[in-house]
Structure 1
Amino acid sequence: MTARRPSRKPLRLRALGVVAVVGMLFLSGCTASGQPQPTIAAGASPGISGQGATASVPLETSQTSTKSPVYWLGRARDGVYLYREFRDASGNENPVAKALRLMMSVKPLDQNLFTPWQAPKKLAASISGRNVITVDVSSDAFNSSVDEQTAQLAVQQLVYTATAAAASAGVIDTGQPVQVMLLVDGRTDQLAFNRVQLGQLMQRDPSMVAPMWIIDPQAGTTSAHGQLAVYGRTTTPGEQVFWQVSRAEVKGEKAAPLASGHVDAAGAGPTQGQFRFSVNLPAGKYVLRVFPSDPGTGDASASAWDSKDVTVGP
C-alpha cells in the first residue's frame, strides 16, 4: 500500500406475526434463466460495469456472531447494485427468516442504501437437504411501485440475503450450489412487484452485486485509538483499490482529502478479492471512499464505488 498526504491542504424493527420453520422440503425446478441488469442512473454511462466481474461473490463464511448479513440496494457510479451490512438480530426465528425480516422491516445503517421491500404480515423460510431455501412471504411485502430493473434487483436482494444468512449460520453446504424458491402466499408462478415472474429456482447473479464495497467499518461506527482500519472486497482480484479519507462535510462544503492512497486486492486463495489498509487520523468525523482508479481532483463522490461516514475516536 502506498499513501500520500497533501502538504498543506488537510485533507424499525417492528415484530410482526410470522411462522418460520426449518424443515425438509424438496422442490424440483430449473435455474432461473436470463441475466437481469442493474438499473442505470439517469445520465450515467454503463461503461464501467461493462468490464465484467472476474470473480463471483463467494458465500459468507460460518460465524458465531448474532449479527445477520443483509443486502441492500445502493446507487454508485454508473448504476444500482447490491451492498451488504451485518445487523444485530434477536428473536427465535431461524437465521434465514430473521435476516429477511430485517431486510424488509428496517432501514440500512448507510443512508446511501435503500430497500423496496415492505414489512410483511407473514414470512416463513425452510431449508431442504438439497441446498434449496424456500421463502414464503405475504403479498404485502411487494407494496412498492418500482420499475422492472429495480424489481429484478430486489428479487436478487432476497436471494443474496437468504443464502448469506444460511451460509453464515452454517445450515447449508457451501461447497454445493445453493438455490432459492420464492413463494407468495404459498403460491408459485406469481409476479414480484407485479413485474418479475417467480416460480423457478434462483441462484446469485454476480452482475447484481457492487464491484467494490467496504465491509468494515460499517456506516456510523467509531474507530478508536486514532486509527481507521479498513477491510473490503472487489470482484476484480489483484487489481488496485484507490481510497480517500476526507473530513465530513461542513455546511455543505466538500472537504479536500486528508489522506489517500492505494492497495492491491488479493489475487488468489481464500482471501481473493479482499483488501485491507489502515490510516492514522486525529479524532473527528470522516468520509471514507474507495475507487477502481485514481479519482484525481474531481468530484470524488461521483466516481466512488462505495463510501462510509465514520468517526475516529481519540
Structure 2
Amino acid sequence: MRRGLLLVVLPASLVLSGCVANPRQDITDAGSPTQTVPGPADGTTATSAPLESAQASNKAPVYWIGRSNNNVFLYREFRDVSEDDNPVTRALRVMMSQKPLDPDFFTPWQNPRKLATSISGKNTITVDVSSDAFNSNLDADMAERAIQQLVYTATAAAASAGLTDSGQQIQVVILVDGHTDYVAFNRVRLGAPTSRSAGMVAPVWIIDPQEGTTVADGAVKISGRSTSPGGKLRWEIQKVDGNAKTPYQSGMMTAAADAQQSGLFSFTLNLGPGSYEARVSQVDANGKATDLNVDTRGFTVK
C-alpha cells in the first residue's frame, strides 16, 4: 500500500492478449503515437510539460483537449474530487464523466461502468477500463490525443499524489475489460507501455487563475507555461461586459529559459472589480505578435 493507493492485482487470465487477425494499416500503436503537431512558432525547440510535483491538496490534475488556431492540444485543470477511490482513478473518473471548467476544452471519453488503476514498483501505471468508455467516433489524430489525454492525466495524478518516483519516466498500460490489444476508437491499439508525447501538450498554457475563478481586487498575478523556453510571448487583458470584450492592457514577455523554471511565465497587474479575460500567445520568429497558439482564461475581480 503506497500513500493510500488501492492496488488492483489483475488475474493472469485477464491480461492475455487477444487474437488479432488481418491487422489494418490505419491503426496506430499507443506506445508510438504519430507526431502530427507542429513545433513552436518562434523556431525554438519544443519541450513537454514537466511531470507534476507532489502536493498536499485534494484537487486532482485533469487534462482536457482544446483547440488553438488550427490545431488541438492538451490543457490541464485542477478539479475537486471525492475520496472514494485512489488518486489516479479519481482523476480519470473526472476526465471521463465530467465537463471541463473552460468552455474552450472538451473530452471525447464516456463515463465507463468499470475503472480501476494500479501502480507497479517500476513506475508503470495500469489502467483497466470497460469498453463503453470509447463510445465516440474520432478520426486518427483525435484518437491519439484522447489516449494521450488519459496518459497525461494518469501520470499527473500519480505524481501529484507522491505515488511515483519523479526521477523516472512513468509509463501507462491501458487494458480494456482486462485485455490488451483493444483498438480504441477503432484507431489506436492499446496495451503497449505508453509515455507522455511532447507534441501533444499546449504550446501556451495559462495555469492560474483557472477559468471562472474569483480573485481579490488589486494586484492580480497571471501565470502559466510555454513549451518554448526563452520564447517571446504576447499578453493581453480584456474587460468583459456580457458578450462584449474590450482591450484593456497588453504587453510582451519572455518565457523562462533556465532548467529550474523552464518555460514558465507570469505578469502582475492592478485590476479593479469586474470581469476579465487573459490572453497569452506566442510571437512568430520575426517578432510580430499574431496570436499564435493563444490560450485564454476568464476570471472575475471583486
TM-score range, shorter chain: 0.7 to 0.9
Residue identity (%): 51
Partners of 2:170 and 2:141 in 1: CA distance: 23
1:8 paired residue number: none
1:132 is aligned to 2:108: no
Mapped partners of 2:296, 2:33: distance in 1: 31
- Greater percentage in strand: 2
Task: Say whether residues 1:228 and 2:220 are aligned partners.
Answer: yes
Q: Which residue of 1 aligns with 2:178?
A: 186
Q: Could you tell me how far apart the structure 2 residues matched to 1:197 and 1:24 are?
A: 23
- Counterpart among 81, 100, 117 of residue 73 in structure 2: 81
Give the secondary structure class of the aligned counterpart of 1:248.
strand
The one of 251, 262, 270 aligned to 1:261? 251
* Residue 31 of structure 1: how far off its partner (Å): 8.6
Q: Tell me by how many angstroms 1:21 deviates.
A: 3.1
Q: 1:24 to 1:130 in 2, by over 3 A?
A: farther
- TM-superposed CA distance for 1:173, in Å, is 0.7
What is the Cα deviation at residue 34 of structure 1? 4.1
Give the Cα separation in 2 of the matches to 1:73 and 1:166.
Answer: 20
Which digits, 9 at most, give the CA deviation of each residue in 1:241-263, with x for residues without a partner?
A: 21000012544x442x1011122
Q: Is the 8 A contact 2:49 2:198 kept in 1?
A: yes
Structure 2 residue 298 is matched with structure 1 residue 309? yes
* Superposition TM-score, scaled by structure 1 size: 0.83
Mapping for residues 95-244 of structure 1, pairs under 5 Å: 95-244=87-236
Q: Please state whether the residue corresponding to 1:156 is helix, strand or coil.
A: helix
CA RMSD, Structure 1 to Structure 2 (Å):
2.5
Task: State the match for 2:238 in structure 1.
Answer: 246
Quick one: structure 1 residues 195 and 224, their matched pair in 2 at CA, closer, same or farther if it must change by over 3 Å?
A: same
Quick one: distance in 2 between partners of 1:148 and 1:48? 22
Report how far residue 78 of structure 1 moved: 2.8
Contact 1:118–1:143 under 8 Å retained in 2: yes
CA distance in structure 2 between the aligned counterparts of 1:59 and 1:95, rounded to whole angstroms: 15
Contact 2:30–2:190, Cα closer than 8 Å, also in 1: no
In 2, are the aligned partners of 1:289 and 1:304 still within 8 Å (CA)? no
Q: Which structure 2 segments of 5+ residues have no match?
A: 16-28
| In structure 1, C-alpha distance between the alignment counterparts of 2:105 and 2:181, rounded to whole Å | 29
Which residue of the partner structure matches residue 264 of structure 2?
274
What residue is the counterpart of 2:47 in the other structure?
55
> In 1, are the aligned partners of 2:63 and 2:76 still within 8 Å (CA)?
yes
> 1:74 touches 1:112 (CA, 8 Å); kept in 2?
yes
Instruction: State the shift of 1:225 in Å.
Output: 2.4
Runs of 4+ in 1 over 4 A off after TM superposition: 23-27, 46-53
